Amino acid sequence: MAHKNGTAPGRTPPPQPREGEELPPLEIPVTRTLIVSGALASRDFQDVHHDAEAARAKGSPDLFMNILTTNGLVGSYITRWAGPHAVLRKVAIRLGAPNHPGDTMALSGRVTAVTPPGPDAPPGEGATVEVAVRGANRLGQHVTGTVTVTLREGAPE
């Protein structure tokens, strides 16, 4: 159905998810490289994120993923689903069981709210969607959170 923010010629319309829709799951291998490069790319030099011995001295069995990387992975999961032109409005996460090397994090998501674009929304803007996200590893829930994202039509093919 076309609305007043209708899609411009040559552009793909914004996705139209329904409340309750499940996002395709995504499995992320938690490698030592991902943990260390994610920490350093986010300028987080806490030794527990790159030095296994230092992590053990602080009571952890091995180094573990930093929260900025987890936050980025959650954002990435939503962006891949919503398309590169979608705009993240809010990401709120809580960490649980740590992501240690050798584990796999299974990300899943469910649409919990869909708000249609308002009358003043710019052309090409779609619904604003709230997604409940979970990332589970073999120890339990690594991350739980909520992401709010505004969908947009795609660029011309």
Partner 1 sequence: MSAANGVGPSPGQDADDALYERLRTYAGCPAADAAHGRDPVNAPMIRHWCEALGHPVPPDGSAPATMLQVWTMAGLARDGERASGAPTGQGGRAGPYVELLAELDGAGCTAVVATDCEQEYVRPLHPGDEITFDAVIESVSPRKRTKLGTGYFVTTRMDVRVGAALAGTHRFRILKYRPKPTGPAAGQGAHRGGARRPRPVVNRDNAGFWEGVARHQLLFQRCAACATPRFPWLPGCNTCGSSEWRAVAASGRGTVYSYVVMHHPPFPAFDPPYAVALVELDEGVRIISNVTGVRHDQVRVGMPVELEFLRVDDDLELPVFRGRA
Residues at the interface with partner 1 (CB under 8 A): 28, 34, 37-38, 40-46, 48, 56-61, 64, 66-69, 71-76, 79-80, 84-85, 87-98, 139-141, 144, 155
Task: Return the number of the residue (5 or 69) whose C-beta is nearest partner 1.
Answer: 69
Question: Least distance to partner 1 from the beta carbon of 64, Å?
Answer: 7
Question: Least distance to partner 1 from the beta carbon of 117, Å?
Answer: 18
Question: Least distance to partner 1 from the beta carbon of 10, Å?
Answer: 16
Task: Return the number of the residue (3 or 33) whose C-beta is nearest partner 1.
Answer: 33
Task: Return the number of the residue (97 or 121) whose C-beta is nearest partner 1.
Answer: 97
Question: Least distance to partner 1 from the beta carbon of 111, Å?
Answer: 19
Which residue from 75, 95, 77 is spatially nearest to 142, judged by alpha carbons?
95
Task: Return the number of the residue (2 or 83) whose C-beta is nearest partner 1.
Answer: 83
- Check the CA dihedral 75-78-82-87 and report its sign: negative
The 3-state secondary structure of 35-96, one letter per residue: HHHHHHHCCCCCHHHCCHHHHHHCCCCCCCCCHHHHHHHHHHHHHHHHCCCCEEEEEEEEEC
What does the chain come to in residues?
A: 157
